[in-house]
Amino acid sequence: MREPIAVTGFGLTTCLGIGAETNWKRLREERSGLATVSRFDIGDYPVKEGGEAPAGGPSDTDDGAASFETRHLLGAIREALRGAGFESGRVPDDLRVGVVIGSSLAGSSTSDRFFTEYQAKGPADVDYGLLEGYYIEDLLRFISGEVGARGPAVLVSNACAAGGSSLAQGARWLLGRRADLVIAAGYDPLSIFTFAGFGSLMALSTSTLKPFSANRDGMLLGDGFAAAVLQRLSDTKDRAVDSLLAGYGESTDAHHLTHPHPQGAGAALAMRRALESASLKPEDIDYVNCHGTGTGPNDLAEARALRAVFGARVSEVPLSSSKPFFGHTLGGAGTVEAVVTLLAMQRGFLPANLNLDEIDPEFDDLDVVSTGRAATVRHAMSNSFGFGGSNTSLVFSHRDKERSR
């Protein structure tokens, strides 16, 4: 990283509630938001739970024409902008503001509504306007227009690494002087398509989401909408900044369509690249927010990747997965969990890895945080790994704590 990138604001909405503070309160209380899905009919399928965000959307997002997911995404972006000092939720005209959005299945719930009506009414009478939300260029136009962004705009869609890659892309734009400020966001809504798709892979848990547990049996899905405002530290002037995106790393396993490399080779490469980008060593990391999906192959591959990167010190690095709180938010996970990581670093508290009833013997050498604990976090890592072998690792630094090390 040729110069520091500041994180000047962030926003978050999950099934835990609207707003970063609401989500953090529930995380501290160790209260999961996963519950019986009511948005669509599950029928007699054995998996019943998912994470559903509040139905109404943020109170300051009143565009009735916008879809449920667009309202929540815009709400998270506006929260991030307010946190960055833009109280109106819009950016000044004299700034080159880029928008990069990460999503795995953007528009999936919109297409669900279209096909439901198509089946009921047929091709002659279906409302083709329902498909408008499926066009990503229209989403980028709408979001950019609502916040006044006039810089580059792009969608990143590399499966469940997308949200993390949106922050990496934002940093590249800033370092390359393509933008003065970047809104990096990630989202995916819980929909019947994603639910059925992961169900067909037998990847959903019939009990509860329990990463790193001996009896883990799969993931659960949830809504996730998050955003971060990135600026070059030198451009923040007199504004107090305590959080930096210190480094990022990306890689591809090129191993299998849905399974990670069994030794976590690509994941390890992404982590090493993130550390190199941040000019840090493995021993500098005080906390890792894991991808931790609760599936057998993924947790095992991530653990092997962590051992490859951290070596003998791996048992000294606290780690946890946030997904038991709000489910796997797919393309939104990288941004959602980046915000959780930033909150953990700023508040000096490591959120619990819920439901860790009996740790798998494969992970006996890992310090999995079963109950939340206070900690001084100078540097933290957030991992996101996706289908097709896409991997993104982010390193965040607390500016004041980093100076005092």
Specify the DSSP element, H or E, that contains 368. Answer: strand 367-368
Task: Give the single-character DSSP code of 265.
Answer: H
Q: Is 404 a residue whose pLDDT tops 50?
A: no
CA distance 40 to 194: 12
- Residue 72 has a pLDDT of 94
- Residue 8 has a pLDDT of 97
CB of 210 closer than 8 Å to CB of 221 = no
Structure tokens at 241: 């900044």
- Residue 403 has a pLDDT of 46
Contacts of 277 (CB under 8 A, 6+ apart): 1, 246, 247, 248, 249, 395
CB of 204 closer than 8 Å to CB of 198 = yes
Q: Is 138 a residue whose pLDDT tops 80?
A: yes
Contacts of 103 (CB under 8 A, 6+ apart): 136, 155, 156, 157, 162, 163, 186, 187, 188, 331, 332
- Residue 60 has a pLDDT of 58
- Worst-scoring range by mean pLDDT, 57-71, 209-223, 244-258? 57-71
Q: What percent of the chain has pLDDT over 70?
A: 96
**pLDDT, mean of residues 373-388:** 96
Q: Is 237 a residue whose pLDDT tops 90?
A: no
Structure tokens at 254: 């090129």
- Residue 61 has a pLDDT of 55
Digit-coded pLDDT (tens) for 297-310: 999 999 999 999 99
Digit-coded pLDDT (tens) for 158-193: 999 999 999 999 999 999 999 999 999 999 999 888
Q: How many residues make up the chain in this entry?
A: 405
CA distance 286 to 282: 9
CATH numbers and ranges of domains, the chain: 5-403 (3.40.47.10)
Digit-coded pLDDT (tens) for 35-64: 999 998 898 999 999 999 998 777 555 555
- Residue 405 has a pLDDT of 41
CA distance 67 to 39: 14
- The pLDDT confidence band at residue 133, using thresholds 50, 70 and 90, is low
Digit-coded pLDDT (tens) for 96-121: 999 999 999 876 777 777 888 999 99
- Collapse the DSSP code of 378 into the 3-class scheme (helix H, G, I; strand E, B; otherwise coil) and give the result: coil
pTM: 0.94
**pLDDT, mean of residues 253-277:** 92
- The pLDDT confidence band at residue 257, using thresholds 50, 70 and 90, is confident
CB of 23 closer than 8 Å to CB of 12 = yes
Write the CA distances from 231 to 167, 171, 246, 329, 333, integer angstroms: 11, 8, 12, 26, 22
Amino acid symbol at 188: D
- Residue 136 has a pLDDT of 76
- Residue 311 has a pLDDT of 96
The CA-based angle 98-180-172, given to 5 degrees, is 65
